[in-house]
Amino acid sequence: MSNMNTAGIKLSIVGLGYVGLPLAVEFGRKRSVVGFDINQRRIDELKAGNDFTLETTPEELAAAGGLFYTTNIEDLRACNCYIVTVPTPIDEHKRPDLTPLIRASETVGRILKKGDIVIYESTVYPGCTEEDCVPVLEKSSGLKFNQDFYCGYSPERINPGDKEHRVTTIMKVTSGSTPEVRDLVDALYNEIVTVGTHKAESIKVAEAAKVIENTQRDLNIALINELAIIFNKMGIDTEAVLKAAGSKWNFLPFRPGLVGGHCIGVDPYYLTHKAQSIGYHPEIILAGRRLNDNMGAYVVAQLVKAMTKKRIQVEGAKVLVMGLTFKENCPDLRNTRVVDIVAELKDYNCEVDVYDPWVSAEEAEHEYNITPVAAPKAGAYDGIILAVAHRQFKEMGAATIRELGKSNAVLYDLKYVLSSDASDLRL
């Protein structure tokens, strides 16, 4: 290990999703990289120069001349450094689901050799790398941690759909299981990250730093959501209040809404799970999570109340939900909370059409049993919920969106896509 430097690293990226692929592409511009994924369809797609996540363009894929795609574990044997970028979701009970991480560790462990380094990027709770992943690596490989092989942790900071903040332009937190490994991991990432890195004191510090980044955002949004509920009850326009408050230089520009995605709606549960396992019940973090998780039900309750005031029969009403992804202008459906709105509407026996020009209908059906419509029907809807601020919806404008509904339809602008006087309801 003491003799290894970045020139001696033979790199592989394990998992080529929203996190792994952009990383592999950037490294593939600089050096030879083996990109590994268990999904043959994904590998075939990338070999053909296409990325369904839209995180990389065909031109960027073509420019990564050193990148080799494979589903064959044997192709990893020539590597000595493995960056694991698999997802870390939660299960139906809001508990961390480490299955992808453990399976990836088992896979890497089977081809692990003396002197190799395994770097994790997946978001986890503090201690997960050394307490959960390392034992799997040891068992699968028969090798001893920090004697035969080493680990690093450098949490991903990918922001899906963001073309400004990319892998190379977001400061990277790095760490290693020994001081020498920490320096090597840091030097490796500095090959591609142009804005620099932050070397954390330990793997646990790096893990904790990542998980609180999104916990902080979650709590801030929860506060704004609660304020929106209060202001709605008082008949005050929330956006107008936030704009006024935002005139002060240190007021944080958060906005209310649904909190989903692979990070903000998930990561706090990793931290609270760990906290509870050591005997501490986190009050504030879980309160924020409860409030944010209930926003879908709140939105539908507001819509139903407005429809009732207009004497629209709620049961059997046709409602259009515009947008299904967890955020605007990207096809990412992971942990989207728009599904809460759809489920709640169906509990009222409404007929729901979901329209989203960004999503794969096949993926929506597979993940949520929702079949999006190819196009909404003009004049067909009793209620319309603008759930995601896709640019296509902004370009449609209020008049065109209104034409999709019946003459007395209720239009709920959840994301401030339209002007304050263009909709019947706003969050």
Q: Provide the annotated active-site residues.
A: 263
- Measured at the alpha carbon of residue 165, what is the angle toward residues 28 and 242, in degrees to the nearest 5? 165
Amino acid letter at 337? R
Q: What is the CA radius of gyration of the chain?
A: 23
- Phi/psi at 144 (nearest 5 deg)? -105, 130
CB 212 within 8 A of CB 271: yes
Residue 117 φ/ψ, nearest 5 degrees = -125, 135
Local structure of residue 322 (DSSP, 8 states): E
Report how far residue 426's alpha carbon sits from residue 416's, in angstroms, rounded to the nearest whole number: 7
The answer to whether residues 30 and 192 touch, using CB atoms and an 8 Å cutoff, is yes
> Is residue 143 within 8 Å of 108, Cβ to Cβ?
no
b/e code 343-364 from CB counts within 10 Å (16+ = b): ebbeebebebbbbbebbeeebb
Which helix H or strand E contains 45, and what residues bound it? helix 40-47
Beta-sheet pairing, 11-14 with 33-36: parallel
CA distance 14 to 73: 10
Taking a C-beta distance cutoff of 8 angstroms, is the pair 126, 211 a contact?
A: yes
CB 269 within 8 A of CB 94: yes
Distance between CA atoms of 427 and 411, rounded to whole angstroms? Answer: 12
In this structure, the chain runs to a length of 427
The answer to whether 70 and 105 have CB atoms below 8 angstroms apart is no
Q: Kindly state the tokens that stand for 389.
A: 């601020």
Q: Are 417 and 427 contacting, i.e. CB atoms less than 8 angstroms apart?
A: no
The C-alpha atoms of residue 124 and residue 270 are separated, in whole angstroms, by 6
Location of structure tokens 């409602």: 319
